[in-house]
Amino acid sequence: MQILLISSNYFPEPVGIGLYTADLAYILNRDGNKVTVLTTFPYYPWWKTPEHLDKYAVEHSTLENIEVYRTQLKFNVPHKTIGRILFELRLWLGMRKVYRRVENKNFDKVVSIVPSLGAGLIARKVARSKKIDHFLIIQDITSNGVSESRMSFGTLLKYIVFPVERLIVRSANFIAVISQNMIEPIRAMAKTSTPVDLIPNYEIEAPEGLNLSRTNFNLPLDKFIVLHAGSIAHKQGLENLVRAARLSQSTNVVYYLYGHGNAEIDVFQASRDLNNFFIKPPVPRDQFMSLLRCADLLIVNERSTQISMALPSKLISYFSSGVPVLAAVPKSGATYKAVEGLAFWVEAEEPESLAAAIQKIVLTAESREYYAKAAQHYFNQNLKSEKGRERLLAWVDNSKNT
């Protein structure tokens, strides 16, 4: 089959949606399909194209037998209302431009990945003009996300975004969501006859690397290390970790954040006077698992308003690492449901409770071992790459018999 795959994120982006889009292209190609990708120059999580990725900043290339068409964006960090609107508008216009390069090709189906509204709108246009099925994968609900992230004028932006998002959802013939909490709001947007399936994210295997130690990463040998790895974004409310670190200055606990993102500068400014809080650039993927295993405790943190937003993909790596996890997330949210029984938990945006919980965890090696083993067992049973790929491929293949 000829499949058009549309996403604002793609290889070689090292985290998030780019990893899953590239893996989907890979498994579709491996299954014998001819895959064409519409995407952008690599930009996430840096919000610019790093110099070492310039070779991928070309409009057309072929990567592992997959044709990739990219649009260049004027990058801005869209954590403010006008920035988000401009980003989506530029993305839509850029996607329209590169689509003209493949417009005359015959496609059997189109797959789009959102929250990118631009990608969803182009997929809707393709499905309507070519009268083919639109398969929509929802990694995040934009209209909920802009308000749950406490973006400035987020509620106003939600009402601007919602009609566009609903238009995209209603154009889909098949819908997949990655979180149980997304099913109800998406069913409310979708046509009654459109199936909404739960297909969780899964392990994206990294290249094998050396088994590196704390010394290799210049980490202290005599401290209890709490580590957060991944995007440093406004939606995560990582100022909560800064406040907890401030309360932990007299203890043996140190906090490390590895990553980039649109909140990086703000978190740095809030923590610059602390000697137990450090922000580091992300490590290469073949060093990532070694880095996680250097920690005593891995942390996922969210704002108290994050209820229906996407599950952090970092949890999959966390669960596979053999290191215990602490979730500082709202009890009513999607992430809590994913970690219940597999991780320590404290309520979101309660830095005093977070600092106290970590101090207690320091003293309970038995509990740390219990949660580390429980999470690793769950990972082995549910989140391994081949199982996840089988679920996703079966879903995309669904129309073969319809």
Residue listed under structure tokens 């947007």? 189
Residue positions counted in the chain: 402
Q: DSSP 3-state helix, strand, coil percentages of the chain (rounded to 5)?
A: 45, 15, 40
3-state class of 308 per DSSP?
coil
pLDDT at 351: 97
C-alpha 272/C-alpha 274 separation (Å) is: 6
Nearest to 18 by CA among 309, 231, 299, 258: 231
Q: Which two tokens stand for residue 11?
A: 């290889």
Long-range contacts of 83-89 (CB under 8 A, 24+ apart): 84/146, 84/151, 84/157, 85/157, 85/160, 88/116, 88/117, 88/118, 89/118
Dump pLDDT digits (tens) for 53-66. 989 989 999 999 99
Q: What pTM did the predictor assign?
A: 0.81
Tell me if the bond preceding 312 is cis, omega within 30° of 0: no
Single-letter code of the amino acid located at 51: E
pLDDT at 11: 93
CA distances from 92 to 20, 40, 98, 166 (A): 21, 11, 10, 16
Residues lower than pLDDT 50 in the chain: 153, 400-402
pLDDT at 330: 93
User: Which residues make up the CATH 3.40.50.2000 domain(s) of the chain?
Assistant: 2-202+384-401, 224-382
3-state class of 9 per DSSP?
coil
pLDDT at 44: 86
C-alpha 4/C-alpha 244 separation (Å) is: 46
| CATH class for the region spanning 2-202+384-401 | alpha beta
CATH numeric code, 224-382: 3.40.50.2000
Residues 6+ apart with CB under 8 A from 59: 69, 70, 71, 72, 98, 101
Dump pLDDT digits (tens) for 146-168. 555 555 545 656 667 788 899 99
> How does DSSP classify residue 234?
G
Residues 6+ apart with CB under 8 A from 25: 5, 10, 11, 35, 37, 66
Strand segments (E) across 192-301: 196-198, 224-229, 253-258, 277-280, 297-301
pLDDT at 234: 82
- Crossing angle (nearest 10°) for helices 180-189 and 154-171: 80
Residues 6+ apart with CB under 8 A from 123: 4, 6, 110, 111, 112, 134, 136, 168, 171
Single-letter code of the amino acid located at 193: S
pLDDT at 367: 96
